Amino acid sequence: MKRSVLILIFLPFLLVVVFLFSKMRWKFSKLGPAISQITTSEAVQTNITVTAISPSASAPMTTTTPLLGETILRDYANTNLPPENDLTLMSRLMENSLLLLKSAANRPLSANEDWADLFRGRNGAHEEFLPAKHIAFNSEGQLIDRWATPLFFHALGGGRYEIRSAGPDKKLWTSDDLERGYDGRFRRGVPGN
């Protein structure tokens, strides 16, 4: 009894395997004769050149997906947009990176270099948000404004930050500075003025 049940279960499985095997053999047998039918003498007589290219020899077709930071900062330092846009975009990148990297929210991120390192992948998850050669970085690896001056980051605590651009005069704490507060509001000049 047990033997007949076992045979009834095994028989359909065996039939499926045989069917698939025969289909695969048939598919590959169609390719073989087409390739092997051309002999060297026939190729010479008909001036046909047969070149076989191995998959490893051909150049791989790769498309690079932009990093998250590149997408967020795609209009960074665009002179057709106001400088406030740059600080808003930088703020969005900061917020998104902290949202994705929960452990980064516990790190003290106050200096420009701290944020630059985080965006370049020097974080616990090794998650890269910006490539090292990006318009937002200077040659020293600092995050810069559209006038190529390092941005000033001020950590207020509780995940709140202010970002300050030195403005066109390239000097911090002067009347043309632009600051984006944690609440998204912008102030110009020196605080308290």
Q: Give residue-wise pLDDT tens across range 17-57.
A: 666 666 666 455 555 555 445 555 554 555 555 555 555 55
> Do the beta carbons of residue 156 and residue 144 sit within 8 Å?
no
Residue 11 is predicted with a pLDDT of: 64
| Per-residue confidence band for 136, with pLDDT thresholds at 50, 70 and 90 | very high
Mean pLDDT calculated for residue range 178-183: 97
Q: 178 by DSSP, 3-state: which?
A: strand
DSSP letter for each residue of 27-89? HHHHHHHHHHT--HHHHHHTT-------TTTSPP---PPPPHHHHHTTTTT-TTS-HHHHHHH
Mean pLDDT of 43-72: 70
For residue 49, the model assigns a pLDDT of: 59
Checking DSSP bridges between strand 160-165 and strand 178-180, what pairing results, if any?
antiparallel
Helix (H) or strand (E) segment spanning residue 165: strand 160-165
Identify the CA nearest to 179 among candidates 101, 84, 107, 52.
84
Please state the pTM of the whole predicted model.
0.67
Per-residue pLDDT at 64: 85
pLDDT for 53? 59
Three-class SS state of 102: helix
* Average pLDDT taken over every residue of the chain: 82
What is the rounded CA–CA span in Å between residue 106 and residue 30?
62
Taking 80 as the threshold, does the pLDDT of residue 68 lie above it? yes
Q: Quickly state the pLDDT bin for 175 (edges 50, 70, 90).
A: very high
Helix axes 112-119, 83-100, angle to 10 degrees: 60
Which of 27-36, 42-51, 119-128, 136-145 shows the lowest mean pLDDT across its residues?
A: 27-36
pLDDT tops 90 at residue 66: yes
